Amino acid sequence: MPQTITKGYKALVDDATKEITTLSIAEAQGLLADPEVVIVDLRDPRELEREGKMPGAFHCPRGMLEFWIDPESPYHKPIFAEDKRFVFFCGGGWRSALAAKAAQDMGLKPVAHIDGGFTAWKKAGAPVVSS
């Protein structure tokens, strides 16, 4: 018998965005130089190579986020223990919405995500550096 999906990705993303802070590209650009903000790039390494990177962003592949946040995890990254604001982005804003919700649910705060992700970032002419 085939699987019956009762809640699709669109509903998951919609639910997440109701509970997290969403930043515009302009708002995110204003945070680039803020030492109290960690901008987290959730994209796959191949996406970074192909598309470039946001200057100064910290790379954390989406599949490792919860493990890197949790101080009990053998994969914990100390950057996630810092008293900073964490702003997540991905290619289009879906993964980052889910990631911000998961991080917030884990107790990381404050968190936000960038509406439209890296695609919107590039389209707006925001700064990009090559990998």
The CATH number given to whatever domain includes residue 47 is 3.40.250.10
**Is 48 inside any structural domain?**
yes
Strands 21-23 and 111-114 turn out to be: parallel
Report pLDDT digits (tens) over 70-87: 999 999 999 999 999 999
Look at residue 5 and tell me if it is in a domain.
Answer: no
For residue 61, what are its two tokens? 């592949």
The rounded distance, in Å, linking the Cα atoms of 122 and 117 is 9
Asked if the structure places residue 77 within a domain, the reply is yes
The pLDDT of residue 114 is above 90 = yes
In a domain, 22, yes or no: yes
Q: How many domains does the chain have?
A: 1
Q: In this predicted structure, what is the pLDDT of residue 1? A: 86
Which of 57-85 are b and which e, b meaning 16 or more Cβ less than 10 Å from the residue's Cβ? Answer: beebebeebbebbbeeeeeebeebeeeeb
Q: Which of 6, 39, 46, 5 is nearest to 25 (CA)?
A: 39
Residue closest to 131 by CA, chosen among 29, 46, 28, 40:
46
Q: Is 4 a member of any domain? A: no
The percentage of the chain sitting over the pLDDT mark of 70, rounded to a whole number, equals 100
CA pair distance 27, 43, nearest whole angstrom: 20
Q: Which residue bears the tokens 């999906």? A: 5
Is 3 inside any structural domain? no
| pLDDT per position as a tens digit, 10-37 | 999 999 999 999 999 999 999 999 999 9
At residue 109 the predicted structure's pLDDT band, cuts being 50, 70 and 90, is very high
Quote the mean pLDDT of the chain: 97
Helix ranges (DSSP H) in the chain: 9-19, 25-29, 45-51, 65-69, 94-106, 117-123
Could you tell me if residue 2 is inside a domain?
A: no
Residue ranges making up the domain that contains 22: 11-123
Residue 49 lies in a domain: yes
Q: Could you tell me the pTM of the whole model?
A: 0.95
